[in-house]
Amino acid sequence: MSSPSKRRDMDVMKLMMTDYKVETVDDSVSQFFVEFNGPPDSLYSGGVWRVRVELPDAYPYKSPSIGFINRIYHPNIDEMSGSVCLDVINQTWSPMFDLVNIFEVFLPQLLLYPNPADPLNGEAAALMMRDRPVYEQKVKEHCLKYAKAEDLENKENDDEESDDDDYENYKTSDDEMEVEGL
């Protein structure tokens, strides 16, 4: 690819051609939502999350910002802001990766193999290490309460203003890194 903008367009189109539901913000390929299902055979199986993606101008040379809009209980995801702590997105991103990698490999792996040693949600990390059965029950309860497919469908039928509200409360993984001084 000769330019980052062509690569960005191609990667977004490639993601749209998969089974993922992609909803652009103001017809922009720089900001969009992806409907993400919890990996089968995981604690998150059956859960559906709305994930916000922001592509910087320098994408694919600079990593996208990823964040869960509806709540998820996970040691490496901030429960309130939805920001994701994942090295491959935040620090070790490579232009060899694309958006499909994020949704088919990186996020499923994060949900399957949480790292409580590097938490954004200290409570979840401590609970996971201290009492695994209680942690697993809390994950399942959050999935039932906050990650039902019908809730996402109802959200899509709400006013367009709600997307703006979501955006205002949303923090990117880059924002979290700035807070942490990284």
Count how many residues are written for the chain. Answer: 182
Q: E strands, the chain, where?
A: 21-25, 28-37, 48-54, 65-68
- The DSSP letter of residue 66 is E
- The DSSP letter of residue 106 is I
- 125 CB-near residues (< 8 Å, 6+ apart): 75, 114, 116, 117, 119
Give the neighbor-by-neighbor strand order of the sheet with 21-25: 21-25, 28-37, 48-54, 65-68
Q: Cβ–Cβ contacts within 10 Å for residue 132, how many?
A: 10
Residue of 22, 85, 102, 111 with catalytic role: 85
The pair phi, psi for residue 120, each rounded to 5°, is -105, -25
Catalytic, 143? Answer no
Q: Which residues are catalytically annotated?
A: 85
